[in-house]
Amino acid sequence: MAVHLDINLIVVARDVFTPAELKQVDDSVDIMKAIFATHGPVIGTVNRFHIDARVAGVDAILLGAGDAMALADRFAVSSNDALDVFVVKRIFHPKDVGYSPVPGACGKKTVKGRLRAPVVSIAGSTADSGNTFAHEVGHFLGLPHCEKDESLCGPANFMRAASGTNTGVTPAQAVTMIRHCQVTL
């Protein structure tokens, strides 16, 4: 397999998602795969997990980054080394559609006071949420917003702070992400 990144897709409170919302999750994963396929790393195996609403409890309701951190700490997948990506219906904070550390820690390490894994929502259209999935994984793999380092981006790119454009990975972004310890060569 090419240079790749395996993912644990964890749908939080899946039992309260509608069939259309579950389709949006699947389609968002496909958009993320297409974005990363341009220059890599390729999204490899996508392991699927879910957490019922009654088990997630208050961790299914995200009011901010602290709640995302609690969710990721409580429900990390310990059975493999793939990158955990948590999916929620909505983040109840104005303008927030996802969170991720920049860059993320290697493996399943917990860094005190820091989010351990990307948390994304399906807010907006499928194109928007697909871009959000790729955007937050890009952050985890070390990419800043384009506005912070324009040398990594083109004029329209999935790493813009307010982007809805799923244009793909630039060669410079691929080099940055491939260096992350979560990527398998």
The values of phi and psi at residue 44, to 5°, are -85, -120
pLDDT band at 14 (very low <50, low <70, confident <90, very high): very high
Do 15 and 53 touch, CB atoms closer than 8 A? yes
Q: Which of 30, 38, 43 is nearest to 4 (CA)?
A: 43
The answer as to whether 184 is a domain residue is no
Q: What percent of the chain has pLDDT over 90?
A: 72
The answer as to whether 162 is a domain residue is yes
Q: Which residues contact 109 (CB under 8 A, 6 or more apart)?
A: 116
* Residue 93: per-residue pLDDT: 83
**Residue 16: how many other CB atoms lie within 10 Å:** 12
Q: Which of 42, 24, 58 is nearest to 128 (CA)?
A: 24
The answer as to whether 167 is a domain residue is yes
* Residue 150: per-residue pLDDT: 84
pLDDT tens track for 22-52? 999 999 999 999 999 989 899 999 999 999 9
- pTM for the full predicted model: 0.94
Residue 110 belongs to domain spanning: 4-178
Mean pLDDT of the chain: 91
pLDDT tens track for 67-116? 999 999 999 999 999 999 999 999 988 778 999 999 999 877 667 678 99
Domain count for the chain, please give it: 1
The answer as to whether 185 is a domain residue is no
Burial of 152 (C-beta count, 10 Å sphere; 0-12/13-18/19+): buried
The answer as to whether 183 is a domain residue is no
CATH number (domain holding residue 63): 3.40.390.10
